Amino acid sequence: MTLKYLQNSHLEVGINSTEAWELTKEIVCRHFQKNLGVVVPPHALTLPDERITQWGEHWCEVTVNGIDTVRIPMSVVKSAKPQTERHKPGADAAGSEDFHPPAA
């Protein structure tokens, strides 16, 4: 089932960066799980030999169960959604006193 699903899939990888970046196996694996609901370990993923450092159309290959390999089209796009900012301790001291975590 996974093999047929991947054969009909197209992966979109959103990159939210204004600085230089390079697409890594870890980033692509995270997007497989996030966008397609498929867990792909890094050892089962092959990226092109040339580094991916620009938006555009690319490909990757996933080996399923160590036997069959599927080539999947991949669009690397600029992400419109900003990454979640983490709350810095003490940044909002006034509002923090009203927060009460649920009892365990």
Top-confidence residue, 81 or 16 = 16
Total H helices, total E strands in the chain: 3, 4
Rounded-to-integer distance, Cα 11 and Cα 52, Å: 15
Return the pLDDT at 81: 60
Place of tokens 């792909």: 40
Q: Is the pLDDT of residue 90 over 90?
A: no
| Strand duo 68-78 + 11-15: pairing | parallel
Q: What is the DSSP letter of 7?
A: H
% of residues, the chain, pLDDT over 70: 75
H or E element that contains 71: strand 68-78
Residue 95 CB partners (closer than 8 Å, separation 6+): none
